Structure 1
């Protein structure tokens, strides 16, 4: 049995006449009558009877209409909500980001985004890069800012920004220990690092001293927090390699100084990506947030 026939029955019951139901649906009254005849044949019961010049629902039709009205209204609400996902920027979206980059990059963009789309509910979660990609793959995030190109085949990404790694030290440290320029001079210093694998230092080192150079650093402290690395460096405890967006204010105020290796041919740059699941449905809110963060 076609649901459309049952919907016609409910429409006629609510409209009060075949003619009004036909007007609301944009068809002729005879088309409505034909659909009701087909439904009567399928059900095996009469649905309307003639009373003078009017067609009146039978008791069976009245009971059907009463039982079907709420389910059809509920279906209509569900369909309308689903359609609005693709027509209107509203509802919840969860965005993941590494805290240091996100705290600088996101604020102005989120302010503009939320002012433009007041029905959007945005949830921002900060995390470590490896976990952000995993959360995106497993559906706990809708979008994620990633510091590397995502490796998982289910993800798509676009570059939204670039960070440049800068070697920095405090003026106090440089007065005490001197300003290094060559590779050997840098190796004579102590370093504040993110981890003992030197994930952040290695790209800078190779850009400064050659692709085959491997840093064998003397480590003063390994701390998996960029703000803590900066604080220890400002305190004069060693040299650190940090992203330009983080140390920019400290360089401007003279709390840190940038170190330029002799003969460095290129800066150490890294692309920041915005990632999403390739098969994610392109809802209006997903497209709006993706567009806002890609500018």
Structure 2
């Protein structure tokens, strides 16, 4: 990390460590952080950099635009005990290569939960099995970027394999920030009808169909949701979480997991934590969401 970033990160590090320290936690478990090959990540950053001109004004400045080693060091300074390498293909033939990179990243980054991904294509069951046998502990699926139906028959054997292996899948299937042909609760509901034991973690709380995805979790005991970007000032201005749904969020407190989208966020990491705190759901809920649920799911 350069000297300027080191100096500016100091107060935030202290702020974050005070947050989990006063909750009596040993740190944080963040199930939604992005690490991927650098040239792929830089293309993602290019996309966010261009959003202002594409959307007519929505600015998305990347808050943590550092090299990989600096980003992992910063998460450790924050006190994140375990994090992920969320990565995803946007075309056939890409997932197996990404999985190879992610396996190597996990070997050299022991506090990263070994992450893998998939895409509806011939051979998907084979490389998903290979990733599971190599020790993958979590998968990432991105219905919006991949522009595919999660209930595609090509994926059916892979979902079955992951359900049997009890490997969680973080899946971006909500329609935020923009709807896709296969986003929303209906397509993923068809997957769960076939594979009710599949451990799905709905990214971004299912933004913008928050209540629909809360309902999915209420009906399926293995469905969880992550907090990624939800409840922050940035997201509340665009797709606010309905206040009437707060009691349901409280009831599902054992199946809500901290996610941040680090490093691709347009605000400080600490803001996600304070956004959760100001929901007013209590310290027990916060402890579960920020650490205990993830620690239990991944047997930390």
TM range (shorter): under 0.3
Larger RCO, structure (CA 8 Å, separation 6 or more): 1
Question: Structure 1 length as normaliser, TM-score?
Answer: 0.23
- Indicate the structure (1 or 2) with the bigger Cα radius of gyration: 1
